Amino acid sequence: MTMHAYSFWSENGTAKGNLPPLATLSLLPDGPYKSSFDVMFSQDTPIEQQLAVADRVLAGVQQWRNGIAEHAEQQRTATDELESARAEIARLKSEAGESE
């Protein structure tokens, strides 16, 4: 079975979890009292199985976050390199203009 749920996150989006015995994870993309996605276990799910699932979710979210962080760093690096190149071009143009 495939399940799809889409919602665009805002700066007000939150995630919150509740502890066992009824461990839940709530994702609130637009902040409280708007759309939400809730993850729950049935009451008979062993705690070790809940932990294994939570570990897989955490690993997936960490990988997702790391990919975003890596992309952001690449963009910052490219922007910094472009600014450095522009500054060097301006310096060289200035020096060339002074020597004429």
pLDDT digits (tens, 9 = 90+) for 3-36: 777 778 888 888 999 988 888 999 888 876 678 8
How many separate domains does the chain show?
Answer: 2
Residues 56 and 29 in one domain: no
- Enclosing domain of residue 15: 1-44
Residues 60 and 79 in one domain: yes
28: exposed, middle or buried (C-beta count within 10 Å: 0-12, 13-18, 19+)?
buried
- The pLDDT of residue 78 is 86
Q: Are 22 and 43 in contact (CB under 8 A)?
A: yes
- The pLDDT of residue 49 is 94
pLDDT digits (tens, 9 = 90+) for 54-83: 999 999 999 999 999 999 999 988 888 889
Residues 16 and 35 in one domain: yes
